[in-house]
Each structure stands twice: as structure tokens, then as C-alpha cells.
Amino acid sequence: MSAPTSPPRDGRRAGLVAVVTLAGVMWVAEIVDLVLGGRLDLLGIEPREADGLTGVVLAPLLHVDFGHLLANTAPFLVLGAVVALGGLARLAAVTAIVTVVSGLGTWLFGAEGSLHVGASGVVFGFATYLVARGLFDHRLHYLAIGLLVALVYGSTLLFGLVPRPGVSWQGHLFGALGGLIAARVLAARRPLRRTAGGRPA
């Protein structure tokens, strides 16, 4: 088996376009939500309610207000762009894993009667994915990226896991867990070295 190659430049460009497009969808959704008097937010995650399961997919695109959206947009764009350097397929896989783990974790363990919206779970997932990827892939540039992300966002990650009123710390926690899972599942498999006798080293 050959060693994994870098994604084509077109794949990286498509990934970056996808990140910007998703951020744009969030802003359009918030404008529509404003026009509708906040009714779009009702499509968020409602813990242990069957109707609330649709929020697993939709909640990252919805926000309480423009302040909430603005706080998530910058880290989503920055961290999403770094993930997208691995190509569109990599971005899609990481986003899917993080979204599902964060959403289902929130749905299972969120407070009764609460409503969860926002892209922060995905942001936390992107951050922990980038930190953990270097540990699983054992490549120097991934380790360097992970260290930089940890230095810039480490305190935010830790503070975001502290239970506080009005903050979906469950989404943060399970988003971070989703990032770790994505890093492990998507880690490049290196070919086995073989000894002179033909057995794996």
C-alpha cells in the first residue's frame, strides 16, 4: 500500500469554498430567523424529544442572535479553513462526525426542556480534531498545527466545558469528543514495514 498523498489543490479550494458557504448559510438563516421572530430557533435540539432530533443537523446553522452568531463565525472560518486544507472530502467527514456526535450527545444529555442552537459544538470539534490529528498521524506539520491551535484556543476550550446557565456545554463537550473520534477514525494508515523474512516489522 502506498503512502497517503496530499489532497489536490482543487480539493482544498472546494473545501475552503464549502466553509465560507456554510458560514454564509448561518448568516442567511439568522436574517430569516429575525424576520420570523425567532421561530427558526425552534428547529434546534430539544433533548430527548423526537422532534428535537432534526436539530442534530440543523442546530449548527441556527443561532440565538447576531451576537451569538458573530462569536461563532470567526473561529468557524479559521478552524474550518485549516481542516479544509485536507480537502473537501476530509472537511465533509470531520464535519459530519463532529455534528452527529455533538448533536446526539446534546440530545441525550442536555437539560430537560432546554433548546440548543449554535455552531460552537462544531467549532470545538474542529479544534480538538486539529489538536489530536498530529498525535494520531505522527507528522511534524500536523503536530505543529495542533500545538498552535492548543495555544490559541486552549483556554476557550477548557472554559467552554464548564457548566454555566445559557451555555450549551454539552454541545461543547460532545463536539470536542467528536473531534477526537474524527482524528482517530480518519488518521492515515501507514504501510507496514517488512523485514527480510517478509513479516511485518
Label residue 190 by pLDDT band (50, 70, 90).
low
Least confident range of 47-51, 83-87, 105-109, 159-163 = 159-163
Q: Is the pLDDT of residue 197 over 90?
A: no
Is 43 among the domain residues?
A: yes
CA distances from 194 to 89, 97, 197, 199, 200 (A): 31, 34, 8, 5, 4
What mean pLDDT is reported for the chain? 90
DSSP label at 43? G
Confidence bin at 2 (pLDDT 50/70/90): very low
Please check the confidence at residue 5 and state whether its pLDDT lies above 50. yes
Tally of domains in the chain: 1
Is position 178 within any domain? yes
Classify burial at 14, counting beta carbons within 10 Å of its beta carbon; exposed 0-12, middle 13-18, buried 19 or more. Answer: middle
96 inside domain = yes
> Domain with 141 in it: what CATH number?
1.20.1540.10
Three-state DSSP class for residue 116 = strand
